A = this chain, B = another copy of it.
């Protein structure tokens, strides 16, 4: 990590810098310790530039960060400052978190790599929880190799191979396919086209019904867990929470636990089904976002395309290089098997090199 400049989403504790979790409740808060991932990266030589803006308590209410590509557009959320810091060249790596789509979406909107590892494999110590069965530490960088370097530091995993054989890619158009716009669908199809042209085998797959239907059930589980995880804030500082967050937590308190049990049980079953859906493919290629970053700073965009994979606990990465009809970045999402994070990053690096080349048509390569 020597030479790396690190930005830290402000939901990770830092002993030497304020940590406000994107909430006025914590405006003067200074934790006692560094979050474990911060400590590991610093110990490995990274220099901590500072804290990066997060949406309120890692949920939806945006902070002031703008998109480095166009200041009228959201950078996505909730890891908005982290993705923007890397996209703007302020930091070489940046820590984020994903509970719904908080890494994949801002990575796509800002045109950088955004990675969430297999659930449960990177310690959450010192991270402010939202929904512990979904909360995943993730990070941003401008190359898959840098992403993998961070993974090595925090888990001990080996570096991916740089000489990668053309992969087998399962193209999953999922039940949400029609909910994305032409820019996002076009980016996925363009990525498939370029991968094929570069020697990859791309096969269409249909996700099992149980898997495909899970995405829509994620918000209920997140709200149930967030209500309980933010009980102190809700009980003692409710008027300092945004109306949006108050409503989500109120919704979460009203969800019967039987429904939560059913979602959790189906998620366990779906994990086994999803493993089968890979067939002999190395990764699944699918939508990461609805399209380009929306032209607003009032919301952080739609997380729905990342939710399924967060709930399944699979590793996922947003691969940059393509752009949409107005020239803003549009990432594509690659998903790996549980535990197969290194292979996923190998393929992400391989595909990313094809997407940043100038051979684009239909969907254009990103201008930078």
Contacts and interface: CB of A to CB of B under 8 A. Distances in A.
Interface stretch (A1-9, A79-87, A154-162): A154-162
A149 interface: no
Give this chain's copy count: 2
Contacts of A156: 256-257
Interface in A31-52: 32-40, 42-43
A29 B31 CA distance: 9
A124 B129 CA distance: 8
4 closest cross-chain pairs (CB), A and B: A39-B232, A125-B229, A125-B129, A39-B231
A33 B232 contact: yes
Nearest to A156: B257
A128 B125 CA distance: 7
Interface in A246-271: 256-257, 261, 264-265
B123 A36 contact: no
A26 B32 contact: yes
Contacts of A154: 228
A133 B120 contact: yes
B232 A126 contact: yes
Given A123-B225, A157-B257, 9 more contacts: A39-B231, A39-B235, A40-B228, A121-B264, A123-B132, A123-B229, A125-B132, A156-B257, A261-B339
A22 to B, nearest CB: 14
Q: How big is chain A's contact interface, by range?
A: 35 or more
Contacts of A133: 120
A214 interface: no
A33 B29 CA distance: 10
Contacts of A15: 232
A203 interface: no
Interface string A200-233: 0000000000000000000000000100111111
Given A120-B133, A132-B120, A339-B261, A34 B228 contact: no
Contacts of A228: 36, 40, 122-123, 125, 154-155
A206 to B, nearest CB: 25
B232 A35 contact: yes
A236 interface: yes
